[in-house]
Amino acid sequence: MMDLRLGPAPARTGSSLLYQGNDWNFEILRDCYDAVAEIADRELGLTVYPNRLEIITSEQMLDVYTAHGMPLGYRHWSLGKRFISHENAYRRGMMGLAYEVVINSDPCISYLMEENSATMQTLVIAHAAFGHNHFFHNNRLFREWTNASEILDYLEFARGYIHQCEERYGIAAVERILDAAHALQGQGVHRHSGARRLDLRGEQLRAQARRQHEEATFNDLWRTLPLDDEQQPEAASSDPLRRRLGLPEENLLYFLEKHAPLLASWEREVIRIVRMIAQYFYPQPQLKMMNEGCATWVHDYIMRRLHENGRIDDASYLEAIHSTSNVITQPDFDAGGGPSFNPYALGFAMMRDIARICSAPTAEDRAWFPDIAGNGQPIGTLKHAWAEFRDESFILQFLSPAVMRQFRMFRIHDDTSTPYLLVDAIHDDAGYRDIRRTVAQAHDPANMHAEIEITGANMHADRLLTMEHRTVRGHQLQPSDARQTLQHMADLWGYGVQLIERDMHDGTVLTTYEATRGNARKRE
C-alpha cells in the first residue's frame, strides 16, 4: 500500500497533456491531482477535507470491502467470511472491484486501484477526493451526525480495547457479545435525537472513566453503569420505573448497554463500541443517491474541462465517457433493474437536470421550479442542494417531469385482493406528483428499518423484556430471521424477551415471538 498525503494544490498554467497512454507514475499522479484540484477550486468552488490517496492492489481492495471501507478495525470472524466470499466471486469473474473507495474522515482517505489506467486514476481523484469529499464536508446530515476528525482515532481505540478483552476474557467470550451486537446494530442507533453529533474522542475518555468507576464500585449482584446527565431518559410516564428505564426506547443496543442486569462492564463497553460505529454510518444510506450523484457530476464536469483545456487527449476523454456511461446505466426491469433505481444513474440525471433548469429552462420547468428556473447559477444551486437535503427531500424537491420521462417512470397499485394490476400514475401533472412522492418514499429512512421499540421490562419479577414491532399486514418480519435475532437479544438481556408484531392501524396483534437464553420460538 502506497500513501500519498496531498495538501492544497498550487495554481497551474499551460495546456500540455498531463500524460499519454495508460501508464502512470507518482509524478503523473501528482500532476493530475493538481489539475483536478485547480478546476474543483476555481470553477466549482468545492470545499474539502485534506486529501490522502492510497494506492492499493486488488487483494487489498478486497480487504477494504471486508472492513466496510474503513482502514482499521477490530477482528471478527465475519470479516474473514466476507473476505473469502468476495475473493471467490472476484476470482471466478462473478463480481468486479470498484475503481476507488473513499472514507468520510479528516483527512479524507481515497483508495485507488493500482491496476487503474492514468485516466481512471484522474477520474477517481475527481470523483472521490473532490466529489465525495465535498459532499462529506458540507452536507448537513454528515455535519450533524458525524465528526470526521475523530473516527480514525476511535477505530484505533476500539481495536485496542477489544484486543485487550480477548486477551483477558478469551476470544469466545468476546465473540459472543460481538455476534449479538452485530445482529442488533441495525436497531442500535438513535434516529430522532436531533443534531447531537458523536463526540468520539470524548467517548474514549468516558470509557476510561467508566472502567475506573466500575473497579471502585464493583457489585457482583447488580452491575450497571450510573447514568450521567447526558444519558437521563426524557420519556414522560407516570411509572417511575418506565421513567428510569427511558421507555419506550428505539435504540436496542443503548438500552442493553445501560440496563441489562447480567452484563459485565467490559461487555457493556463492547456493545457501546458497536453502537458508536453503527451510529457513525447512520447517515450514509440516507444520502446514497445524492452522494453518488454529486461525485459523478463533479468528475464528469472536471474530466470534460480537462479535455477542453487540452490537459487530456481524445482517447483519454473517451475512456472517461465510457466509464461514466457504464456507471450510470439503468437496467430495464427485466434486465435486472428491478423495482429500484441505480443511485448513480438517478442521482447524476437529477444533478444534470438541475444544471439544465438553471441555465436553459423550458416552460414546464418554470411552472414546476419557479425558484431556480433560469437563475443562471447552476453550480450554486447544486451546492445548496448537496448541503441541505437528503435523498428523500431532494427527490421531493427536485425530481422533474423530464427525468421521470427519461426513466419511463409510472406507478402500479398492486391490490392482492384483485386479480389485476392497476397503473394509477401516468405522465400527466397529477401522475408526476404521485410518482415523485412514491420515489421519495422509497428513500425515506423510516422505511429502511423495522419500527421496533422496547416498551416494557418487568424488573420486579421475571424481568421479561417486551418489544413491539409496529407494521402492517404483509410487511411482517421474516420468521427465521426474527427468531435468530431475538435470540441474540435474549442472550444479552439474560432473561426472557418477547416481541409483539402489532398492526399500526388498529392495534391487532399479528404475531408474537418469545425467547429465553438459548431458546427462541414463535407463537401465533
Tens of pLDDT, residue by residue over 174-227, are 999 999 999 999 999 988 754 455 556 665 566 666 556 555 555 555 445 454
The segment with the largest mean pLDDT, out of 151-155, 230-234, 239-243, 290-294, is: 290-294
In whole angstroms, what is the distance from residue 459 CA to residue 436 CA? Answer: 47
Averaged over 21-47, what is the pLDDT?
96
Q: Kindly tell me if the per-residue pLDDT of 10 is higher than 50.
A: no
For residue 456, the surrounding DSSP H or E stretch is strand 452-457
Q: Kindly tell me if the per-residue pLDDT of 313 is higher than 60.
A: yes
CA distances from 516 to 173, 247, 462, 467, 496 (A): 19, 21, 11, 14, 4
- The three cell numbers of residue 46 are 468545492
pLDDT digits (tens, 9 = 90+) for 69-122: 666 778 887 777 776 776 676 566 655 556 678 888 889 999 898 989 999 999
179 CB contacts (<8 Å, ≥6 apart)? 488
Helix (H, G, I), strand (E, B) or coil at 514: strand
Burial category of 321 from C-beta neighbours within 10 Å (exposed 0-12, middle 13-18, buried 19 and up)? middle
Q: Which residue in the block uniquely carries the three cell numbers 406528483?
A: 433
Q: Kindly tell me if the per-residue pLDDT of 472 is higher than 70.
A: yes
Q: What is the model's pTM?
A: 0.82
For residue 455, the surrounding DSSP H or E stretch is strand 452-457
In whole angstroms, what is the distance from residue 202 CA to residue 239 CA? Answer: 33
For residue 346, the surrounding DSSP H or E stretch is helix 343-359
